[in-house]
């Protein structure tokens, strides 16, 4: 990578997501509209699930999380080391976010110079329209103990959401995150964020789920 390449000035942890955003955006822009709509159609159930998670978070957890994590910056849930982005997170964001938001995310990754906090944490919160699933489903011990543990019914609702998350992200069956990676692999694209086709652990899960001959 030459020094004239703008990606070469990006800090190491931001290079893979920045390149993924650029790759996905370019590829989607080259597809005929009906193929983009087909990808959205396949992703729509996941968006419905994410809406339910967001409603739960807003109703029961936003007060605690806003005070503990965002306002006081005392929590670890938005620290840089705790952020994990799947390639499919980027695909979903590019499918549903507008160009202005994708521009903002790319510019943020280009200009970020490191530090403790997540690069995507802006003045009003997360810069993603549909934040990475790992971030969305993470709850710190304080939130668990102060909100969910005292209320078994509420805890049960959260555990149900966690279980349903696996329908999209745990490849012991065909799942959306694996399928979206496959679409881009078949088109000749590669990314370090394609964990469903690169992670030894996830590959073992997929192998165990295959029918034996």
Greater confidence (199 vs 66) lies with 199
pLDDT at 103: 97
HSE-up (13 A, CA, CB side) for residue 6: 8
Confidence of residue 1 (pLDDT cuts 50, 70, 90): very low
Q: What is the pLDDT of residues 35-46, one digit of tens each?
A: 999 999 999 999
pLDDT at 118: 82
**Distance between CA atoms of residues 119 and 111, nearest Å:** 9
Segment 181-202 mean pLDDT = 97
pLDDT surpasses 70 at 79: no
Segment 3-19 mean pLDDT = 78
pTM: 0.90
**Distance between CA atoms of residues 180 and 105, nearest Å:** 20
Segment 101-122 mean pLDDT = 88
Listed range (51-60, 78-87, 119-128) with the worst mean pLDDT: 78-87
**Distance between CA atoms of residues 118 and 114, nearest Å:** 8
pLDDT surpasses 60 at 88: yes
211 SS3 class: coil
Strands (E), the chain: 121-122, 125-126
């Amino acid at each position: 990578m030459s020094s004239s390449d703008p990606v070469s000035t990006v800090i190491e942890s931001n290079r893979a997501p920045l390149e993924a955003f650029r790759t996905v955006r370019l590829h989607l822009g080259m597809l005929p509209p009906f193929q983009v709509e087909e990808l959205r159609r396949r992703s729509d159930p996941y968006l419905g699930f994410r809406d339910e998670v967001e409603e739960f978070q807003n109703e029961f957890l936003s007060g605690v999380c806003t005070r503990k994590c965002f306002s006081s910056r005392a929590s670890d849930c938005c620290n840089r080391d705790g952020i994990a982005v799947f390639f499919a997170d980027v695909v979903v964001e590019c499918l549903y976010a507008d160009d202005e938001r994708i521009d903002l995310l790319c510019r943020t990754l280009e200009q970020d110079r490191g530090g403790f906090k997540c690069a995507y944490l802006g003045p009003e919160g997360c810069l993603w329209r549909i934040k990475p699933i790992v971030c969305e489903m993470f709850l710190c011990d304080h939130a668990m103990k102060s909100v969910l543990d005292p209320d078994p019914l509420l805890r049960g609702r959260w555990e149900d959401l966690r279980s349903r998350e696996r329908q999209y992200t745990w490849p012991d069956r065909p799942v959306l995150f694996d399928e979206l990676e496959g679409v881009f692999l078949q088109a000749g694209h590669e990314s370090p964020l394609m964990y469903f086709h690169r992670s030894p652990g996830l590959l073992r899960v997929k192998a165990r789920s295959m029918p034996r001959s």
